[in-house]
Structure 1
Amino acid sequence: MMFKDRMDAGLKLADKLLKFKDEDCVIIGIPRGGAIIARCIADKLKKPWDIIVSEKIGAPFNKEIAIGAVCQDGSYILNKNIIKYYGISRDYIDSETKKKVSDAAKRLKEYRGVIYFPDIEGKTVILSDDGIATGYTFTAAINSLKNHGAKRIIGAVPVASTEAINLLKKNIEGIVCAEVSEEFMSVRSFYENFKQNTDEDIINLFKQENIKRFV
């Protein structure tokens, strides 16, 4: 399945989530791309929405190789196999994780205007992104939502690798995915237009008033 852009993907995904329309839930997106998806779902389901920032932790020799991910509250996940294979030190992991927590907090404040996370205790959360390759950034967000007291977490993504789906199934109550691929090359390959969203794009989402922001 190909999507025209993130808005098209979000609307198609929202059609698969209509069963949650009468449920007390909140939509949470992982920016940048996941914020667009979350906004589309919230619009269709008429639900409040917000974001959670999850930062990739890169390897010391190549920042594009993810050795884990962490959120603004310090919730994290590490790829122990890669860390062991490359002999990455604990000092590096601790230092980089601390830096990424700070980066995530700054981004959250920049996007939302406030640093605190909304109260989701006892609620069902639909967590979205524009696609999942490895699942580590998504899993760090799941861990953070659990630490904030979410009653139930449902993953919602347009596309994901089989590997990522298998990882996520162990950590959440359900996942809705429009396209699961065993031959997964990149999230980009499932979009006709995968133009990178800017920070200003995300800030502007919060300025739109027709959908209630969850604060």
Structure 2
Amino acid sequence: MQSKTLIFGHRGYPKQFPENSLAGFRYALAHGIEGLEFDVHLTRDQVPMIMHDEKINRTTDDKGFIQDYSLSELRQVHLKNGESIPTLAEFLTLVGNSSVQLNLEFKTDQIQYPDIERIVFAMLKEMTLNKPVIFSSFHLPTLERCQQLAPNEIYCWLTKMNVPNPNQFLIDHHLAGLHLKHYQSDMTGTQRIWTVNRRGPAIKLFKQQVAGIFTDDFVQMMQIRDQTM
């Protein structure tokens, strides 16, 4: 029997906390989150930071590209709850050896940060995590570089598009799965769907037994899944 659909907190718990904030991640971990999805960029001095956008304009009290700031400069910038933008190191320390499934998205579809893959893998190598990390990106060459550095990890391509012959695509690109905007009925391989925040679509996906969904409200989605399945 296939296991139940895994529910990932999309950027933590944006329903109640600033997205990609330590406060949101901390709450999610304390309240039984099954998976956490988060986004990684590099600062000017090559420190991995957790934020969705390439710019800090939308979610902080300052402006500009992450890649133009040093870590010390970014420490003067604040999220809407007053916290600093978290580093990947801080996030991994928070997660520790909890049973949560991590999904690290390389945010390289707009900016290809030099050496981001090597830097992230080196940091993860120093950690003792409970489960292997799922690595995803909209930028397929990023995943190809990752495979050269660490061929045995879990890689999934993110896309808004319908993927023709998706099962063959997985084989051709040595992927573990696809992270899709919409469910594909012609796919027998692993697919996870983003970003699911409404009850009706969620129930349908649970019945279709997708491997996972990404949601801004993991509490509600876990309740819906457990009540209906």
TM-score normalised by L of structure 2: 0.34
Question: Which of structures 1 and 2 has the larger relative contact order (alpha carbons within 8 angstroms, sep 6+)?
Answer: 1
**More helix by percentage:** 1
TM-score normalised by L of structure 1: 0.35
State the structure with more CA Rg: 2
